[in-house]
Amino acid sequence: MFDLIIIGGGPGGYMAAERAGHAGLKVLLIEKRALGGVCLNEGCIPSKTLLHSAKLYDYAAHGNEYGVYSGGSRPEIDHKLVIERKNKVVEKLVSGVSALMKAKKVTVVYGEAQIIDSGTVKVGDEVYNGSRLMIATGSVPVIPPIDGLAEGLSKGFVITSREILDLEKVPKHLTVIGGGVVGLEMASYYSAAGSKVTVIEMLHQIAGAMDTEISDLLMKSYEKKGIEFLLDTKVTAITKDSVIYDGGSVKANKVLLSIGRKPFIEGFGLENLDLVIKNGAIETDSIGLTNRPNVYAVGDVNGRYMLAHAAYREAEVAVSHMLGESDTMCYDAVPSVIYTSPEVASVGETEKSAKARGIDTTSVTVPMVYSGRYVAENTATDGICKVIINKEHRNIIGVHLYGSYASEIITSACMMIEMQMRVEEVQKFIFPHPTVSEMIREAVFRL
Ligand code: NAI
């Protein structure tokens, strides 16, 4: 009899297993593919490995602007080696998770779980019993009903975020459907690797709900690198060599479908639990509990924030609850990052989202060229840092960064928002000098 059975070994599942095992609970973790889930095997980590190569390529290509020459020849990306390195990185991290499970005495079973009831799960012929169940089955790509799409997918002409990370050859022309995070990150890598890239996005801006000013800057920087964008454009059909949209078509050697993901809730007996499903996701409360006592759902499957770091924290909160500790999930400060070059990082409200919630705001934007380190390390001058505050209470409610180190700097902004810090408190912080993070200090000084 286990204290906790977890279905799904991605960030939500393995974090819960680690924390619960650490606390002395007897844990069973069931995974059908590989520990680490989509994030580690075919998402966050492999894509960051590719993007790092693209970043190095960028540095090499523009080395002369910094007085660094590589003997006259243009740098090149050896895609095969990049993929080989990516596989090694993934292997190393997956074995790290496996070692962690062993260290925390978590029983790991590989196979497809079938839920019989909230205390019973089968894997093949084996039956496992537990006093608590956690569903952490993640998400799968959305496949819309577009003419010719199913055939394109079956022939490998259309691929998803999984296959794009394992392409053997760089496609001559890559057409990306969906200008969200996956689309942009892959457009960025393949453009550096030599593809002509076209991104088709049905909204008026790329990067979804991102601050509009930053999304515009990002698009301009991609365009400078040769990536082509078709905005306000909806794909209507796929043929054997083209993507058709209202008013035109674009040829391609490969098409990446990246129009979002949906919770994975089918085919493993979830119906036997009678859970409340809302908009295709398992409904949970602020500690990750479903409508059934002792059944938790964390990560993408609850449809709240489809981000690994949200899953990590949801897993911790759920385990705290199991241990009788008081803890709740706060979604006010979940950062989002696009790891292209330059990086984009964002947390909290945009002016638009604050307005929709009836919050009166004041904001300030400072150019990153105010940072000595930014100027020393960049020839670009378009980086910005935007800070948004609640006008009445003067606490920080949103920070949006476009420029180098954005992904690392954003953590300090998350803390400011989560702790509801007021401008006057943040103004008293000492930031290391010279860093790009000082731009937050510069911004709050102006509020
Ligand atoms: P997404 O939701 O970020 O973006 C999908 C985009 O496709 C949207 O902009 C949408 O307007 C557009 N779209 C939808 N239907 C379309 C159509 N028929 N024609 C043209 N455009 C259309 O989804 P994405 O990029 O697939 O990412 C999936 C999930 O993975 C997201 O939840 C994302 O946050 C997560 N992720 C996060 C990363 C990160 O944090 N750096 C990296 C990669 C993925």
3-state SS assignment for residue 193: coil
Q: Between 73 and 270, where is the model more confident? A: 270
Residue 48 has pLDDT above 80, yes or no: yes
Is residue 250 lining ligand 1, measured as CB closer than 6 Å?
Answer: no
Q: Are 109 and 123 in contact (CB under 8 A)?
A: yes
Burial readout 357-379 (b: 16 or more C-beta within 10 A, e: otherwise): eebebebbbbebbbbebbeeebe
Closest atom of ligand 1 relative to the 200 alpha carbon: 20
pLDDT at 298: 98
pLDDT at 70: 80
**For range 251-273, the mean pLDDT:** 98
Q: Are 205 and 217 in contact (CB under 8 A)?
A: no
Residue with tokens 């069973």: 28
Centroid of ligand 1 to alpha carbon of 128 (angstroms): 37
pLDDT at 401: 98
pLDDT at 73: 78
3-state SS assignment for residue 241: coil
pLDDT at 338: 97
pLDDT at 34: 97
Which alpha helices (H) appear in 160-296, and where do they start and end?
181-192, 212-224
Instruction: Dig out the tokens for 444 from the structure.
Output: 């709050």
Instruction: For 349-364, write each residue's pLDDT tens digit.
Output: 999 999 999 999 999 9
CA separation for the pair 229, 189 (Å, rounded)? 16
**For range 56-76, the mean pLDDT:** 89
- 433 an active-site residue? yes
Closest atom of ligand 1 relative to the 181 alpha carbon: 25
Is residue 306 lining ligand 1, measured as CB closer than 6 Å?
Answer: yes
> pLDDT category, 71, cuts 50, 70, 90?
confident
pLDDT at 144: 96
Best of 48, 259, 407 for a ligand 1 pocket test (most atoms within 8 Å of beta carbon): 259
> pLDDT category, 319, cuts 50, 70, 90?
very high
**For range 241-266, the mean pLDDT:** 97
**For range 260-273, the mean pLDDT:** 98
Exposed/middle/buried for residue 93 (C-beta within 10 Å: 0-12, 13-18, 19+) = middle
Residue 72 has pLDDT above 80, yes or no: no
Kindly state the percentage of the chain with pLDDT values over 90: 98
pLDDT at 390: 98
> pLDDT category, 93, cuts 50, 70, 90?
very high
Centroid of ligand 1 to alpha carbon of 72 (angstroms): 39
**For range 395-409, the mean pLDDT:** 98
Q: Are 399 and 387 in contact (CB under 8 A)?
A: yes
pTM flag (> 0.85): yes
Mean pLDDT of the chain: 97
Instruction: For 277-303, write each residue's pLDDT tens digit.
Output: 999 999 999 999 999 999 999 999 999
Is residue 182 lining ligand 1, measured as CB closer than 6 Å?
Answer: yes
